């Protein structure tokens, strides 16, 4: 497949940039943070986004979506990264809808996906339990109880936890922590008895939370897909999610870089603009080169999702590892090259480094994915 | 059948009939390439036969116009020819600086008479060209070149010295940057002239490199006569041609950055072993190899993306400016890893037990990639100023 954007994709990218810049940009994120918001986004902005049809971008037309594929969603997520938009696209669309589509039965897809596509249902994944991403180590237990299951344990890094109406909780129904087999995905309603949803405050000031499941009882119909067999669908969903996060990081890194280059052209010291110094020029040029590589690997990975490429796991880890590396460098250089003003909360560049680190960590950081890339490459 | 399908069928039949068996064998290193010229270096007689047959159809340079000896193929046809050659494993019949560098410059800047005179012998592999650019005091700062061309009416008299002239000792003609005027800025007053290396007053001296080979020469001009009809473009306006040509050279060198066919990680596992989880034993080396392989993958995707964007009419994006810099730096990383993975045998310099020192010699040669054709530092200057718009 040619590594270029189609005309339709370019129009989507432009309309996303326009709407997000106007209604869900850095100014709105700052305002939400300063107001102590816990939802993580403004409901009226989500309404506008739903009107544009974005929640259904990657959802097949048969389930009420637009069927544009993940390349289209990735372009929107890149703009979300550029504008640091406080929107629940990652939790509900990139992950929630993908998990339902990958794991769910036909009936589950029929009943849930149209509501997600319409922007009416927020679904979020509850996976991580410890400080690091390690899906095989899932220990949260689900035991048979009557006709259904009883769930016991805790989860963290649940995106947009306070806005979600449903959680996809990954639980162990067989085997021991470390096994990829024996995992089951359960749909758990946010108001289920025994479920506590707690807001957590991370550096990026976005909506994220932790769950405590204290004997939460669900019906057998709450199982998304098959018992003990969530791994393949979960793994593919995580690959897609990591590619989506890589697209978001591409936007974060590119915007931080461009703002920094503009600053280099304005700031004067020693009677000259600092952008004339070769020590800074070469660092900026090297970073430009890295960003071009980053853009290519993200597009290649997005296309691999839509083409059902068997290389998807390798390309997902490649894209995430590369974007973790490049976003870290771009945001670090962003602070350093801005000097003292870059350390102030009043100036915007700090928001980029904060969002970058959380997105980097989410579902596996550089170390996790470079290790996985090497393993999938046969060493 | 469509026209293209006809073309494919005819091409396939012709290649099968005409490509000699020996020319379907993979090339064994750089010295095995056929470069043509008045006194060609021939490793196998079929090299000349293959070149002649292909040249007759214009297929040594498939996309050049037919009137200058090219094949006159459009992009689709050229792609089909390439695919059909690949199907047979057919070698390219001719490699030369005439094809990769001078030809594109003459097609763009040359007069009709110059195209008529110089392009057909390039297509037929009859004249081998070299490039007279760098001088002892004009390397990265190429525009400071001092080789002088004095105006003598219908010709110039040239005096000076070039260095790093690739294969000057084997070339028949040179395309050369000379100074015809010293009065303006250094970028003005440079002219692009062609002359015969057999002219009186031309001497060459090969330079032995750290890798042991001598692909480059020092080239001296002592009152060498060059006819004015071989001045390309206007007198004093040669810098624009020089820059145009450098972009072709840089593209050629950056292709060295393409990932090798066999994964370095797989080679390392064969040599050094893996643990129970399949991970390479040495975790530090594994990390370095993984970083290299990740960047090689992303660089390859970038080369494809830029090519695809150009084909889709989206223009040659700014990304192309990184090719020379990134490709050569990647190639150096790969060669360092070859040493680390290979160990003692990779350090061998001579003898069959060390494959003639192939690994270490390639490693040493790769150090020049980020110097020749514009150093990495000059490439970063270009990105900073022309792409990012940072000031002087």
The answer to whether residue A17 is domain-embedded is yes
B377 is catalytic: no
Residue partners of B258: CB distance under 8 A and separation at least 6: B296, B299, B300, B303, B327
Residue B221 confidence (pLDDT) above 80: yes
Residue A206 confidence (pLDDT) above 80: yes
Residue A348 confidence (pLDDT) above 80: yes
Say whether both A116 and A140 belong to one domain: no
Q: Does A379 contact B301 at a Cβ distance shorter than 8 Å?
A: no
**Residue where one domain finishes, among candidates A96, A121, A146:** A121
The answer to whether residue A90 is domain-embedded is yes
Q: How far is the alpha carbon of B331 from chain A, nearest alpha carbon, in Å?
A: 16
Residue B256 confidence (pLDDT) above 70: no
**CATH code of the domain in which A87 resides:** 1.10.540.10
Go through the domains of chain B in sequence order and give each one's CATH number: 3-95 (1.10.540), 129-236 (2.40.110.10), 258-387 (1.20.140.10)
d(CA B255, CA B251): 6
The answer to whether residue A1 is domain-embedded is no
Instruction: For residue A150, give the 3-state DSSP assignment.
Output: strand
Q: Does A379 contact B289 at a Cβ distance shorter than 8 Å?
A: yes
* Complex-level ipTM: 0.95
* Residues 284-343, chain B, touching A (beta carbon < 8 A): 286-287, 289-291, 293-295, 297-299, 301-302, 304-305, 308-309, 311-312, 314, 318-319, 322, 325-326
Which residue does chain A place closest to B301, by CA atoms? Answer: A296
Copy the structure tokens of residue A150: 């009883």
Q: Output the pLDDT for position B259.
A: 61
Pick the closest to residue A193 from A213, A163, A208, A164 (CA basis): A213
d(CA B370, CA B308): 26
Instruction: State the Cα torsion A207-A213-A217-A218 to the nearest 10°.
Output: 40
Reported as a single tens digit per residue, the pLDDT across A79-107 is 999 999 999 999 999 999 999 999 999 99
Reported as a single tens digit per residue, the pLDDT across B321-349 is 799 999 999 999 999 999 999 999 999 99
Q: What confidence tier does B317 reach under pLDDT thresholds 50, 70, 90?
A: low
d(CA A95, CA A90): 6
User: Is B12 in the A-facing interface, judged by CB distances under 8 Å?
Assistant: no
Say whether both A236 and A272 belong to one domain: yes
The answer to whether residue A88 is domain-embedded is yes
Per-residue CA distances from B362 to B34, B164, B260, B346, B365 (Å): 20, 18, 14, 10, 5
Say whether both A264 and A321 belong to one domain: yes
Q: Which domain holds residue A244?
A: 232-376
Say whether both A265 and A304 belong to one domain: yes
Which residues in chain A are closer than 8 Å to B389, comparing Cβ atoms?
261, 265
Q: What confidence tier does A374 reach under pLDDT thresholds 50, 70, 90?
A: very high
Which residues in chain A are closer than 8 Å to B377, comparing Cβ atoms?
282
The answer to whether residue A2 is domain-embedded is no
The answer to whether residue A304 is domain-embedded is yes
Q: How far is the alpha carbon of A311 from chain B, nearest alpha carbon, in Å?
A: 13
Test mutation, A180, A269, A293, A302, chain B, max B CBs within 10 A:
A293
Please say whether the beta carbons of B28 and B42 come within 8 A: no
Say whether both A239 and A372 belong to one domain: yes
Average pLDDT over residues B349-378: 91
User: Is B28 in the A-facing interface, judged by CB distances under 8 Å?
Assistant: no
Backbone angles phi, psi at B293, to 5 degrees: -65, -35
Q: How far is the alpha carbon of A330 from chain B, nearest alpha carbon, in Å?
A: 15
Q: Which of A112-126, B166-180, B369-383 has the lowest mean pLDDT?
A: B369-383
* Residues 208-237, chain B, touching A (beta carbon < 8 A): none
Is A300 exposed, middle or buried (CB count within 10 Å of its CB: 0-12, 13-18, 19+)?
buried
Q: What is the sign, positive or negative, of the torsion defined by CA atoms of B46, B48, B54, B60?
A: positive
Q: Output the pLDDT for position A3.
A: 86
Q: How far is the alpha carbon of A6 from chain B, nearest alpha carbon, in Å?
A: 9
Is B117 exposed, middle or buried (CB count within 10 Å of its CB: 0-12, 13-18, 19+)?
middle
Among B77, B84, B218, B249, the one annotated catalytic: B249
**CATH code of the domain in which A190 resides:** 2.40.110.10
Average pLDDT over residues B371-385: 92
Say whether both A31 and A97 belong to one domain: yes
Residue B377 confidence (pLDDT) above 80: yes
**Residue where one domain finishes, among candidates A206, A228, A250:** A228
Among A281, A289, A370, select the one facing B322 at the smallest CB separation: A289
Say whether both A253 and A335 belong to one domain: yes
Q: What is the sign, positive or negative, of the torsion defined by CA atoms of B304, B310, B316, B317?
A: negative
Which residues in chain A are closer than 8 Å to B390, comparing Cβ atoms?
261, 264-265, 275-276, 280-281, 284
Pick the closest to residue A104 from A59, A138, A147, A55 (CA basis): A59
Say whether both A24 and A104 belong to one domain: yes
Work out the angle at residue A226's Cα, subtended by the Cα atoms of residues A224 and A229, and round it to the nearest 5 degrees.
110
Q: What confidence tier does B260 reach under pLDDT thresholds 50, 70, 90?
A: low
Helix (H) or strand (E) holding A236: helix A231-266
Q: What confidence tier does A1 reach under pLDDT thresholds 50, 70, 90?
A: confident
d(CA A229, CA A226): 5
Structurally, chain A folds into a number of domains equal to 3
Q: Where are the beta strands (DSSP E) in B40-154?
A: 129-132, 148-151
Which residues in chain A are closer than 8 Å to B387, comparing Cβ atoms?
285, 288
The answer to whether residue A338 is domain-embedded is yes
Which residues in chain A are closer than 8 Å to B388, comparing Cβ atoms?
261, 281, 284-285, 288
d(CA B229, CA B153): 11
Q: Does B388 contact A288 at a Cβ distance shorter than 8 Å?
A: yes
Q: What is the sign, positive or negative, of the torsion defined by CA atoms of B11, B15, B16, B18?
A: positive
Q: What confidence tier does B33 reach under pLDDT thresholds 50, 70, 90?
A: confident
Instruction: For residue A264, give the 3-state DSSP assignment.
Output: helix
pLDDT more than 90, % of chain B: 80
Per-residue CA distances from B209 to A109, B351, B362 (Å): 67, 19, 12
Pick the closest to residue B129 from B32, B69, B194 (CA basis): B194
Average pLDDT over residues B31-53: 92
Say whether both A325 and A268 belong to one domain: yes
Q: What confidence tier does B59 reach under pLDDT thresholds 50, 70, 90?
A: very high
Please say whether the beta carbons of A344 and A226 come within 8 A: no
Q: Does B390 contact A292 at a Cβ distance shorter than 8 Å?
A: no
Q: Output the pLDDT for position A196.
A: 98
Average pLDDT over residues B226-244: 95
**Residue where one domain finishes, among candidates A103, A121, A139:** A121
Residue found under tokens 């219908």:
B154
Q: Output the pLDDT for position B29.
A: 66
């Amino acid at each position: 497949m040619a590594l270029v954007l189609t005309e339709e994709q370019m129009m989507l990218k432009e309309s996303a940039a326009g709407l997000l810049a106007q209604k869900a940009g850095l100014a709105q994120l700052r305002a939400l943070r300063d107001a102590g918001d816990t939802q993580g986004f403004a409901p009226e902005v989500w309404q506008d986004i739903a009107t544009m049809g974005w929640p259904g971008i990657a959802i097949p037309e048969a389930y009420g979506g637009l069927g544009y594929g993940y390349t289209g969603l990735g372009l929107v997520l890149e703009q979300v990264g550029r504008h640091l938009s406080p929107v629940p696209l990652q939790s509900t669309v990139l992950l929630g809808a993908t998990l339902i589509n990958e794991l769910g039965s036909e009936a589950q897809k029929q009943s849930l996906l149209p509501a997600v596509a319409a922007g009416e249902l927020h679904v979020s994944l509850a996976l991580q339990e410890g400080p690091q991403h390690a899906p095989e180590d899932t220990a949260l237990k689900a035991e048979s109880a009557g006709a259904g299951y009883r769930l016991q344990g805790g989860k963290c890094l649940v995106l947009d936890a306070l806005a979600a109406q449903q959680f996809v909780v990954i639980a162990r129904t067989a085997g021991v922590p470390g096994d990829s087999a024996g995992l089951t995905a359960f749909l758990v309603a946010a108001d289920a008895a025994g479920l506590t949803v707690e807001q957590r405050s991370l550096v990026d000031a976005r909506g994220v939370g932790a769950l405590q499941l204290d004997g939460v009882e669900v019906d057998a119909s709450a199982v998304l897909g098959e018992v003990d067999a969530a791994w393949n669908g979960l793994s593919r969903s995580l690959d897609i999610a990591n590619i989506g996060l890589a697209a978001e990081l591409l936007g974060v890194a590119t915007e931080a870089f461009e703002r920094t280059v503009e600053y280099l052209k304005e700031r004067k010291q020693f009677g000259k603009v600092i952008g004339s110094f070769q020590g800074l020029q070469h660092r900026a040029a090297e970073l430009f080169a890295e960003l071009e590589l980053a853009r290519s690997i993200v597009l290649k990975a997005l296309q691999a999702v839509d083409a059902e490429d068997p290389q998807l796991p390798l390309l997902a880890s490649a894209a995430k590892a590369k974007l973790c590396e490049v976003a870290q460098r771009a945001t670090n250089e962003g602070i350093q090259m801005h000097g003292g003003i870059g350390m102030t909360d009043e100036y915007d560049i700090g928001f980029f480094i904060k969002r970058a680190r959380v997105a980097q960590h989410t579902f596996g950081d550089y170390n996790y994915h470079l290790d996985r890339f090497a393993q999938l490459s046969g060493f | 059948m469509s026209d293209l399908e006809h073309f494919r069928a005819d091409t396939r039949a012709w290649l099968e009939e005409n490509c000699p068996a020996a020319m379907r064998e993979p090339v064994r290193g750089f010295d095995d390439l056929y470069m043509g010229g008045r006194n060609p270096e021939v490793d196998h007689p079929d090299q000349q036969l293959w070149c002649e047959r292909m040249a007759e159809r214009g297929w040594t340079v498939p996309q050049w116009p037919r009137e200058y000896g090219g094949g006159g193929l459009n992009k689709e046809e050229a792609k089909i020819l390439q695919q059909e050659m690949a199907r047979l494993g057919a070698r390219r019949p001719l490699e030369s600086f005439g094809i990769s560098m001078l030809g594109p410059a003459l097609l763009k800047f040359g007069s009709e008479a110059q195209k008529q005179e110089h392009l057909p012998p390039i297509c037929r592999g009859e004249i081998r060209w070299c490039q007279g650019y760098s001088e002892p005091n004009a390397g990265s700062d190429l525009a400071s070149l001092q080789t002088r061309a004095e105006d003598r009416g219908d010709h110039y008299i040239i005096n000076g010295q070039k260095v790093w002239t690739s294969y000057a000792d084997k070339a028949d003609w040179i395309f050369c940057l000379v100074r015809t005027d010293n009065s303006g800025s250094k970028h003005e007053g440079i002219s692009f002239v062609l002359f015969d290396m057999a002219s009186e007053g031309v001497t060459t001296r090969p330079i032995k490199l750290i890798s042991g080979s001598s692909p480059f020469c020092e080239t001296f001009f002592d009152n060498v006569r060059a006819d004015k009809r071989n001045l390309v473009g206007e007198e004093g306006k040669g810098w624009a041609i020089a820059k145009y040509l450098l972009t072709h050279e840089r593209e050629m060198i950056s292709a060295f950055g393409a990932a090798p066919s066999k994964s370095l990680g797989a080679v390392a596992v064969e040599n050094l072993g893996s643990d129970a989880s399949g991970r390479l034993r040495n975790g530090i080396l594994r990390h370095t190899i993984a970083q290299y392989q990740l960047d090689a993958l992303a660089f390859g995707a970038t080369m494809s993306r830029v090519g695809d964007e150009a084909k889709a009419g989206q223009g040659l994006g700014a990304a192309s400016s990184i090719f020379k810099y990134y490709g050569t730096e990647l190639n150096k990383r790969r060669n360092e890893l070859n040493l680390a993975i290979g160990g003692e045998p990779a350090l061998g310099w001579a003898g069959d037990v060390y494959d003639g020192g192939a690994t270490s010699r390639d490693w040493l040669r790769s150090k020049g990639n980020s110097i020749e054709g514009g150093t990495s530092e000059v490439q970063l200057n270009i990105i900073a100023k022309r792409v990012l718009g940072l000031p002087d």
